[in-house]
Amino acid sequence: MSSLPETTAVGALRSRYDRLAAEGAIVPDPHQAKVVAALDRLLSDLQARPLDNRPGFFTRLFGGGRDEAAPRGLYVYGTVGRGKTMLMDLFLEAAPVEKKRRAHFNDFMADVHDRIGRHRAAVKAGGASGDDPIPPVAKDLAEQAKLLCFDEFSVTDIADAMILSRLFTALFDQGVVLVATSNVAPDDLYREGLNRQLFLPFIGLLKRHVDVLDIGGTQDHRMAKLDRLPVYLAPLGPDAEAQMDEAWAIATEGQRPAPATVDVKGRKIAVPQAAGGAARFQFADLCSQPLAARDYLAIVERFPTIFIDGIPILDAAQRNEAKRLILLVDVLYDRHATLVASAAAEPDDLFKGRPGSTEAFEFARTASRLNEMRSAEWRAAQDEREAH
């Protein structure tokens, strides 16, 4: 449970932002400044209209509490690397709300589906009643958090899309305030999704309860710094470790790395360290586990910047690990992901299997792709794609 700040004055977030800029921790950005101003206004509203213990819609309807609307939330969208997550985390730290929750949106929805499953099991066992699990699930969620902060709001799963309108209608009726970051505007959520017309009411609901703000700009501050560093470090040793840590600090600037999970068809893949759109793994985390293309795709869709520590020299005895590395690099390459890796050898010397074998032939392509992905031309092309 978070502790409340003693005071939250108007402009508190801007003061914190200016201090970080003066310390050199962040690069001042006028596009970010307008988001800071919007978040400061929300902090002021939260100070004036506290969320904790605010009665829900039905309590107010029947005379059990104040009929006072909750403050409008905020939905901030824009390209990756614009500082959206960093600003949301600064806001969350300052928010004068005891019951607050920060989550990646996909993790939150996985929790919602788990709760729905438990409710249905309880109904079947006679421990709960009601055919519709959404109202009791929303009630429990609202009791646990009156302020929800979502990182990377993105709807790709039809199961999520079909319940969002009803779920958030219930959450907003309970007085929950939403702050979210996303790479897309609300109107572009679930754009190519199956049965999208059934999802459209959620977009209207969202716009009624949040202010929408385009952070603007195209400069990815973190990647601009990262572009100045080597992204394939060999051989392994203290120097490579130090450079990996330096690159990781840049890629996660202004964010707190923490363990995370990626949900793939009900399975959870552990991510040892994650912050915003960056994730860091040991080689064994990705290539010594029984992971497949679907798993790597899910990881890269969630985290477009991947760090891999300790890629070893592989031989015929590590055939499975080699095949997974081949598959992983193919996914990273095809999805134009940013890869930062430390390895025991240069790409062309990573595989010592039998010459002429299938693995040796396939790994030659992997080595070529690793060399291309570390090149200045590849990284410049990534910047160009981001700009468009």
Per-residue pLDDT of the chain (388 residues; tens, 9 = 90+): 344 344 444 488 898 888 888 887 777 788 888 999 999 999 999 988 877 655 554 444 444 444 467 899 999 998 766 778 888 988 999 998 999 999 888 788 888 998 999 998 888 888 777 788 999 999 999 999 999 999 888 887 888 888 999 999 999 999 999 999 988 899 988 887 888 888 999 999 999 999 999 987 655 556 666 666 788 999 999 999 999 999 998 888 767 888 988 888 778 899 999 987 899 999 999 999 999 988 998 899 888 899 999 999 998 889 899 999 999 999 998 888 889 999 999 999 999 877 777 778 888 989 999 998 888 777 666 555 554 4
Query: Does any domain span residue 263?
Result: yes
Q: State both tokens at 84.
A: 């959206």
Q: Contact at 8 Å (CB) between 314 and 320?
A: no
Angle at 158 between CA 336 and CA 286, to 5 degrees: 40
Query: Does any domain span residue 132?
Result: yes
Which of residues 171, 188, 214 is at a domain's end? 214
Query: Does any domain span residue 1?
Result: no
Give the CATH number, domain containing residue 236. 3.40.50
Residue 145 and residue 256 share a domain: no
Amino acid at position 62, single letter: F
Residue 180 and residue 38 share a domain: yes
- Domain assignment of residue 334, given as a range: 221-387
Q: Contact at 8 Å (CB) between 343 and 243?
A: no
Residue 172 and residue 77 share a domain: yes
Query: Does any domain span residue 145?
Result: yes
Q: Per the structure, how many domains does the chain have?
A: 2
pTM of model > 0.75 = no
Q: State both tokens at 323.
A: 């095949």
Query: Does any domain span residue 160?
Result: yes
| Beta-bridge mates of residue 72 | none
Query: Does any domain span residue 361?
Result: yes
Which of residues 214, 241, 273 is at a domain's end? 214
